Amino acid sequence: MDIQAIKNRFGIIGSSPALNYALQVAVQVANTDLTVLINGESGVGKEVFSQIIHALSARKHNPFIAVNCGAIPEGTIDSELFGHEKGSFTGAVDSRKGYFETVNGGTIFLDEIGEMPMGTQARLLRVLETGEYIRVGSSKVQKTDVRVVAATNRDLLERTQQGKFREDLYYRLNTVPIRVPALRDRKEDIPLLFRKFSVDFSEKYKTPSIQLDEEARNILVNYPWRGNIRELKNIAEQISVLSSDKLVTANDLKRFLPDQPEVNRLPMLAAPQPANNDFNSERDILYKLFFDMKKDVTEVKKMFFDILQNPNMPHPSEYAVDNHVIHSYASPAEMTPAPGPGISSTQPIILADNKIDHHEEVEETLSIADKEKELIVKALKKHKGKRKDAALDLGISERTLYRKLKEYNIAE
């Protein structure tokens, strides 16, 4: 059958090579019983191709039904497709025929096949391979003669690799694949489609037909149309109804086109999620506190060990290791001369010899509450008062941090 005659019969507008090839494949496969998988983005008109295949097949006088697999709840899809027996589940007050039984001899179009549950996929595979199925709640095997045309806007091969779609079912459905091109891949058809929709809506709403100037037409052609023909039709209807001037300029058109943000396809690292349990949050901060204290003591021990092992190493009279301050005292005769005017008094004083008369270790309080408060203040200072970042650093929830700020009367 001539491709143009198919377009006229089913209201298909366009002459792009990709569209013509998809139609040619549909026509050639229509008069067979091969399973067809139609691929394409949402809104490209995949259901029209299933109707073409049925209408040109030997089953054209038998039933045709379109089923959206993504719109049927997982708990009832088996019953919808294969039927059920009375009392097989709560609410099954009577026996019911499924679609594969009512459409026997015809064609069933399974849209959004990628959303079908794994258990239902196994049942469908058996129907495709043997023509047999079992009603829900029954043990009797029944036969059906139904041609399956499936459609998806997802990459089923990728879903098989993710374990979300059966690989054997994918290859059984993909006997004859048809790729329906996206609207942005057939830009030469966009003005024709917009003109057709505009004329239809002007007749429907009894308004003058709208026209696009040259700049507006260029914007229309180069717009990405993520919703494809469905989105283009909606925009044409909006402009036909809401535009006061029937000659639509570029500025007028931009008011009707939604903004299309750039999609960032770079991988993103997920930030660690703070714990929601207050008990665990407080326990974690205490663990962090104890580990920090242990680290401080270890560093102090190492410092003195280094001094004892290397007596010739110059050392300051005051060492500051995190929160522990160790003061070393020597007699005035053993100290170097006082610093000159240009030297800060905060610089370390170097001992003249390596003898230490005595030392005194001054420890700050070991109160858990004080240490907890100190860590919170440090975290807030480090992150410039940003509570969310400070909470993540401390390993607690932002709610717990807020409560601690109130409890310790910490000013942000």
How many Å apart are CA 409 and CA 401, to the nearest integer?
12
Give the ranges where 206-349 is alpha helix by DSSP (H): 214-222, 228-242, 250-256, 278-309
User: What are the pLDDT tens digits along the chain (412 aa)?
Assistant: 689 999 999 999 999 999 999 999 999 999 999 999 999 999 999 999 999 999 999 999 999 999 999 999 988 999 999 999 998 888 888 899 999 999 999 999 999 999 999 999 999 999 999 999 999 999 999 999 999 999 999 999 999 999 999 999 999 999 999 999 999 999 999 999 999 999 999 999 988 889 999 999 999 999 999 999 999 999 999 999 998 888 999 999 999 998 765 444 444 444 444 444 444 555 566 666 666 676 677 776 777 667 666 666 555 444 444 444 444 444 444 444 444 444 444 444 444 444 444 445 545 555 677 778 888 888 888 888 888 888 888 888 887 887 788 787 887 6
pTM of the model: 0.62
C-alpha–C-alpha distance, residues 387 and 399, integer Å: 9
Note whether 232 and 224 are within 8 A (CB).
no
> Same domain, yes or no, for 233 and 282?
no
In this structure, the answer to whether residues 164 and 43 fall within a common structural domain is: yes
**Cβ–Cβ < 8 Å for 144, 133:** yes
Pair (317, 365) in one structural domain: yes
Instruction: Determine the Cα–Cα distance for residues 146 and 168; give it in Å rounded to an integer.
Output: 19
Cα–Cα dist 80/102, whole Å: 11
Residues 310 and 326 placed together within one structural domain of the fold: yes
Same domain, yes or no, for 155 and 234? no
Q: Looking at the 3D structure of the chain, how many domains does it have?
A: 3
| Domain-located, residue 35 | yes
CA distances from 311 to 10, 306, 315, 318 (A): 97, 8, 9, 17
Q: Which helix (H) or strand (E) holds 149?
A: strand 147-152
* Cβ atoms of 170 and 129 closer than 8 Å: no
Backbone angles phi, psi at 210, to 5 degrees: -85, 155
Residue 41 shares a structural domain with residue 83: yes
**DSSP labels, 323-380:** TEEEEEE--GGGBPPPP-TTS-TTSPPBBSSS---EEEEE-----HHHHHHHHHHHHH
- Final residue in a domain of this structure, among 256, 282, 311: 256
pLDDT of residue 363: 53
Number of neighbours of residue 9 by Cβ within 10 angstroms: 12
Structure tokens at 311: 């007596």
- Domain identity same for 34 and 79: yes
**Nearest Cα residue to 396 out of 287, 323, 291:** 287
Residue 137, domain extent: 3-181
261 assigned to some structural domain? no
SS3 208: coil
344 within some domain: no
In-domain check, residue 371: yes
- CA 172 from chain center: how many Å? 29
Residue 200 lies in a domain: yes
Q: Would you state the structure tokens that stand for residue 218, as one six-digit string?
A: 């260029």
Does 43 lie in the same domain as 134?
Answer: yes
Instruction: Kindly state whether residue 266 falls inside one of the protein's structural domains.
Output: no
Contact in structure between 246 and 209 (CB atoms under 8 Å): yes
Whose CA is closest to 104, among 141, 64, 57, 140?
64
Question: Does the residue 235 lie in any domain?
Answer: yes
Beta strand ranges found along 27-140 (DSSP E): 36-39, 64-68, 107-111, 132-134
CATH number of the domain bearing residue 61: 3.40.50.300
Strands 318-321, 324-329: pairing is antiparallel
The verdict on 219 and 86 lying in the same domain is no
Question: Is 188 found in the same domain as 80?
Answer: no
Residues 19, 41 within the same domain: yes
Distance of alpha carbon 396 from alpha carbon 391, whole angstroms: 5
Residue 241 and residue 159 share a domain: no
| Exposure string over 53-86, b if 16+ CB within 10 A, otherwise e | bbebbebeebebebbebeebeeeebbbbbbbbbe
CATH number reported for the structural domain that contains residue 195 in this entry: 1.10.8.60
Residue where one domain finishes, among candidates 129, 150, 181: 181
Cβ contacts of 218 within 8 Å, gap of 6 or more? 250
Please state the separation of Cα 365 from the chain's center in Å: 49
